[in-house]
């Protein structure tokens, strides 16, 4: 206990005595120690701050120990100053012991850490390392890019719309693209290692010699382009027209042939179609002419040559006006203007001048020729010599006119005849009757009869002429058509025939009939004649039955039937009954002029229809009237 008390006793001689209190010694020590202590205290603080910033630093323990060691050194220096005036050498010693312990610990730990510390690379080493890393990165991305571009290259190789081949020694195929497989009908890499010559039909243009030259010559000297279509053999044996181009390159000391193969099927087909069409155009009997919108001739086929006398070389490049008469030039410009709007000009009859100056009648059809965008860029003209047609047409017109004239003459003859011939007849009848009246009493019975026969015959002739007049009037006095309700017409007819119907006790049925476009008075005449006929040619022992009905054939045609149960006639007369003055019965049996049905036929035909009769003796008659509804 005494020992401990004396150890910490501060009554030892102050150290100043050792300096003999000489201020120069004393203050040298004091000031130095103060500076040392201040520095030593600042170092741990700085270390702490550095450590805080550099979180990546390892060796935490060493820093801690080192800071403590420096701090304790500072403490011993402070205590050294204190001992100059107070002899606390025990406390000073304890501080030194603590410093010693921490120093030893630091040394030991530092010693242990030597290999670790040595392993920390130097700045230079780090820079070198960093450079190496960067270089590696660059290399890596370069390779990546190379791989990408190789992929892109391969993709474009396969996407290329032409077949591509690389051929090595002896014509052995090394690389193909997808299009090659497509053209030749092979799978993925079946073609690799095959000989290229086996893919083509040997021809003048593509022979083994060509392949040999391609593969033997060095460098990019030899270029080959197939001059026209050559044929490639497909896997299944079919032939494909192709165009081939090739050239050689030396690669790594080896001669490689790069070859492109393009399928020309469409071209061949187009060519076939073109030559087919061209053959049609050349062999066509009609002149076919191509021209631009300013009228410059671009095409001139052999028929055009025959028609106009100019050959192709005389017309192509020339204006079409060369074959157009002066007065028709404007018409040609008008046509060209119409064509520009895309219009087609059909069947125009016009006149052209031949090389020899003679004129030719032609029929033209001019069509616009359009480019892919639909823009009119020219015209095609099809021309036909219609001189013969025109002559034929003229002849026909002449004949028609003659026929019309003779028809008119005939009609006016019929009209005049019936009209004017009636006059003298009327006189004969009138004066005949006068004679008869005045001399009747003095005449022999026979003579009286002769006179009567004469008068009766004249009366008959009068009625024949009246019929003829009616017949000729069907067309000579034609009036415009209007809508006619046939039921209404028949109703009127039946009213007018009332007496006759009552007399014969006829049973007449009229079913719903259509309305047609017709001349009402003629329809009246028609049905009056037909119904009168049915009443006239009735069976003597049977009630006459007449049925009028219709049947819609289609939307344009209707058939009206007039059916009776009369005496009928043999079917062989079914045409004759419609002839003028044709009678199947003697006048004594059935009176009439034989014009009634002829008038009926003329009326029906005047309306664009037809009339026919079906009958057999004793079985009645059916008259069929075929009418057009809308005309």
Partner 1 sequence: MTPVAILMAEDDKEDQLLANLALKRSKLTNPFLCVDNGQKCIDYLNRLSPYDDLEKYPDPGLIILDLNMPVKDGMSTLKEIKSSDKFNHIPVIILTTSNEEEEVIKGYNEGADSFITKPLSLNKLITIMEELGNYWFSIVEQHHE
Confirm or reject binding of residue 478 to partner 1 (CB under 8 A). Answer: no
- Please, which residues bridge with residue 369 across strands? 378
DSSP class of residue 247 equals E
Q: Residue 613: left (phi > 0), alpha (psi -120 to 50), or beta?
A: beta
Q: Dig out the tokens for 64 from the structure.
A: 């801690």
Q: Which of 231, 222, 211 is nearest to 168 (CA)?
A: 211
Q: How far is the CB of 429 from partner 1 (least distance, A)?
A: 5
Phi and psi torsions of 568, nearest 5°: 65, -175
Per-residue x/- track, 129-168, partner 1 (CB under 8 A) = ----------------------------------------
CA-wise closest residue to 598 among 575, 619, 618: 575
Is residue 176 within 8 A of residue 193, CB to CB? The reply is: no
With vertex at residue 599, the alpha carbon angle to CA 596 and CA 604, rounded to the nearest 5 degrees, is 130
SS (H, E, C) 454-507: HHHHHHHHHHHHHHHHHHHHHHHCCCCCEEEEHHHHHHHHHHHCHHHHHHHCCE
Among 84, 469, 506, 546, binds partner 1 (CB under 8 A): 469
Q: Which is nearer to partner 1, 423 or 444 (CB)?
A: 423
Q: Is 26 in the site for partner 1 (CB under 8 A)?
A: no
Rounded CA-CA distance 433/403 in Å is: 43
Q: Does 460 bind partner 1 (CB under 8 A)?
A: no
Q: Which of 430, 509, 610, 616 binds partner 1 (CB under 8 A)?
A: 430
- Looking at the Cβ atoms of 355 and 422, the one nearer to partner 1 is 422
Q: Three-state DSSP class for 161?
A: coil
In the complex with partner 1, the residue whose CB is nearer, 356 or 438, is 438
Alpha-carbon distance of 240 to 233, in angstroms, equals 7
Residue (136 or 427) nearer to partner 1, CB: 427
Q: Please identify, among the stretches 107-115, 118-126, 269-277, 418-426, the one whose residues bind partner 1 according to the rule CB under 8 A.
A: 418-426
Q: Are 214 and 167 in contact (CB under 8 A)?
A: yes
Residue 557 binds to partner 1 (criterion: CB under 8 A): no
Q: Please state the closest distance from residue 593 (CB atom) to partner 1, in A.
A: 15
Name the residue nearer to partner 1 (CB basis): 106 or 470.
470
Q: Is 347 in the site for partner 1 (CB under 8 A)?
A: no
Nearer to partner 1 by Cβ, of 18 and 459: the residue is 459
Nearer to partner 1, 298 or 433 (CB): 433
The answer to the question of residue 343 lying near partner 1 (CB under 8 A) is: no
Quickly tell me which residue has 């032609």 as its tokens: 362
Among 24, 423, 444, 502, binds partner 1 (CB under 8 A): 423
Distance between CA atoms of residues 418 and 85, nearest Å: 185
Element spanning 414, H or E:
helix 387-439
User: Token digits for 139?
Assistant: 């290399």
* 427 lies in the site for partner 1, by CB under 8 A: yes
Among positions 47-76, residues that touch partner 1 (CB under 8 A) are none
Cβ-based nearer residue to partner 1, 302 or 432: 432
Tell which one of 233, 422, 448, 606 touches partner 1 (CB under 8 A): 422
Q: Which is nearer to partner 1, 247 or 448 (by Cβ)? A: 448
**How far is 360 from 493, CA to CA, in rounded Å?**
60
Dihedral angle sign, alpha carbons of residues 404, 409, 414, 419: positive
**Separation CA 36–CA 85 (nearest Å):** 19
* DSSP-derived secondary structure letter, 84: H
Per CB under 8 A, 475 contacts partner 1: no
Please state the closest distance from residue 489 (CB atom) to partner 1, in A.
17
Nearer to partner 1, 522 or 621 (CB): 522
Cβ partners under 8 Å of residue 108, min gap 6: none
Asked if residue 438 binds partner 1 (CB under 8 A), the reply is no
Rounded Cα distance between 582 and 594, Å, is 5
Nearer to partner 1, 473 or 602 (CB): 473
Query: 3-class secondary structure for 362-401?
Result: EEEEEEEEECCCCCEEEEEEEEEECHHHHHHHHHHHHHHH
Residue 419 engages partner 1 in binding (rule: CB under 8 A): yes
What is the size of the binding site for partner 1 (CB under 8 A)?
13
Nearer to partner 1, 419 or 582 (CB): 419
Handedness of CA 457, 460, 466, 470 (dihedral sign): negative
414 binds partner 1 (CB under 8 A): no
Q: What is the DSSP letter of 556?
A: S
Q: Which of 429, 443, 454, 485 binds partner 1 (CB under 8 A)?
A: 429
Question: Of 49 and 439, which has the nearer Cβ to partner 1?
Answer: 439
Span near partner 1 by CB under 8 A; candidates 420-428, 502-510, 539-547, 548-556: 420-428
Q: Tell me which residue of 518, 520, 616, 510 sits closest to 562, measured CA to CA.
A: 510
Alpha carbons 625 and 607: distance in angstroms, whole number:
11
Residue 24 or 423: the one with the smaller Cβ distance to partner 1 is: 423
Helical (H) or strand (E) element with 530: helix 520-536
Give yes or no for residue 416 binding partner 1 (CB under 8 A). Answer: no
User: Is residue 304 a contact partner of residue 315, using CB atoms and an 8 Å limit?
Assistant: yes
Binding to partner 1 by residue 444, rule CB under 8 A?
Answer: no
The one segment of 81-89, 195-203, 416-424, 508-516 that binds partner 1 by CB under 8 A: 416-424
Per DSSP, 617 falls in state T
- Rounded to the nearest whole angstrom, what is the least distance from the CB of residue 434 to partner 1 in the complex? 6
Is 459 a binding residue for partner 1 by CB under 8 A? The answer is yes
Question: Least distance in Å: CB of 427 to partner 1?
Answer: 5
Among 158, 433, 504, 559, binds partner 1 (CB under 8 A): 433
The answer to whether 125 contacts partner 1 (rule: CB under 8 A) is no
Q: Does 192 bind partner 1 (CB under 8 A)?
A: no
From 426, 491, 556, 587, residue interacting with partner 1 (rule: CB under 8 A): 426
User: Least distance in Å: CB of 430 to partner 1?
Assistant: 5
Q: Which residues bind partner 1 (CB under 8 A)?
A: 419, 422-423, 426-427, 429-431, 433-434, 459, 462, 469
């Amino acid at each position: 206990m005494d020992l401990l008390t004396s150890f910490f006793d501060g009554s030892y001689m102050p150290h100043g005595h050792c300096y003999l209190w000489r201020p120069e010694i004393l203050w040298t020590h004091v000031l130095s120690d103060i500076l040392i202590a201040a520095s030593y205290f600042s170092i741990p603080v700085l270390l702490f701050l550095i450590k805080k910033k550099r979180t990546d630093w390892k060796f935490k323990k060493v820093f801690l120990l080192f800071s403590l060691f420096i701090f304790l050194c500072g403490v011993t220096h402070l205590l050294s100053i204190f001992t100059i005036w107070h002899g606390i050498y025990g406390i000073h010693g304890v501080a030194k012991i603590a410093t010693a312990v921490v120093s030893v610990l630091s040394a030991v730990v530092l010693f242990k850490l030597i290999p670790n510390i040595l392993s920390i690379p130097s700045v230079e080493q780090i820079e070198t390392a960093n450079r190496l890393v960067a270089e590696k990165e660059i290399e890596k991305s370069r390779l990546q890019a190379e791989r990408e571009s190789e992929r892109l290259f391969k993709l474009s190789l396969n996407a290329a719309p032409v077949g591509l081949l690389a051929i090595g020694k002896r014509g052995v195929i090394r690389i193909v693209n997808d299009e090659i497989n497509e053209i030749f009908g092979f799978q993925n890499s079946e073609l690799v290692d095959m000989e290229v010559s086996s893919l083509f039909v040997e021809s003048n243009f593509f022979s083994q010699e060509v392949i040999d030259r391609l593969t033997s010559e060095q460098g990019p000297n030899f270029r080959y382009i197939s001059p026209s279509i050559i044929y490639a053999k497909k896997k299944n044996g079919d032939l494909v027209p192709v165009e081939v181009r090739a050239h050689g390159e030396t690669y790594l000391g080896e001669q490689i042939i790069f070859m492109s193969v393009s399928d020309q099927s469409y071209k061949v087909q187009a060519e076939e179609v073109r030559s087919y069409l061209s053959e049609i155009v050349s062999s066509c009997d009609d002149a076919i002419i191509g021209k631009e919108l300013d009228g410059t001739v671009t095409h001139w086929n052999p028929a055009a040559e025959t028609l106009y006398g100019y050959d192709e070389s005389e017309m192509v490049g020339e204006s079409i006006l060369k074959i157009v008469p002066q007065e028709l030039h404007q018409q040609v410009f008008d046509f060209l203007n119409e064509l520009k709007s895309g219009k087609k000009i059909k069947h125009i009859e016009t006149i052209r001048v031949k090389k020899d100056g003679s004129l030719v009648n032609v029929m033209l059809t001019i069509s616009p020729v359009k480019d892919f965008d639909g823009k009119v860029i020219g015209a095609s003209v099809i021309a036909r010599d219609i001189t013969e047609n025109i002559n034929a047409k003229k002849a026909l017109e002449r004949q028609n006119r003659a026929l019309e004239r003779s028809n008119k003459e005939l009609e006016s003859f019929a009209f005049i005849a019936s009209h004017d011939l009636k006059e003298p007849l009327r006189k004969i009848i009138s004066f005949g009757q006068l004679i008869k009246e005045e001399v009747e009493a003095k005449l022999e019975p026979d003579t009286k009869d002769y006179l009567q026969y004469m008068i009766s015959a004249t009366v008959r002739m009068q009625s024949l002429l009246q019929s003829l007049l009616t017949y000729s009037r069907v067309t000579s006095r034609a009036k415009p058509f209007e809508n006619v309700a046939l039921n209404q017409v028949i109703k009127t007819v039946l009213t007018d025939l009332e007496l006759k119907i009552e007399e014969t006790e006829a049973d007449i049925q009229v079913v719903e009939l259509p309305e047609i476009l017709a001349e009402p008075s003629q329809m009246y005449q028609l049905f009056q004649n037909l119904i009168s006929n049915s009443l006239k040619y009735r069976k003597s022992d049977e009630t006459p039955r007449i049925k009028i009905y219709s049947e819609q054939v289609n939307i344009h045609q209707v058939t009206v039937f007039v059916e009776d149960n009369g005496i009928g006639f043999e079917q062989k007369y079914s045409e004759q009954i419609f002839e003028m003055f044709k009678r199947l019965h003697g006048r004594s049996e059935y009176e009439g002029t034989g014009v009634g049905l002829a008038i009926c036929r003329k009326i029906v035909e005047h309306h664009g229809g037809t009339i026919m009769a079906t009958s057999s003796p004793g079985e009645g008659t059916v008259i069929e009237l075929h009418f057009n509804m809308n005309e």
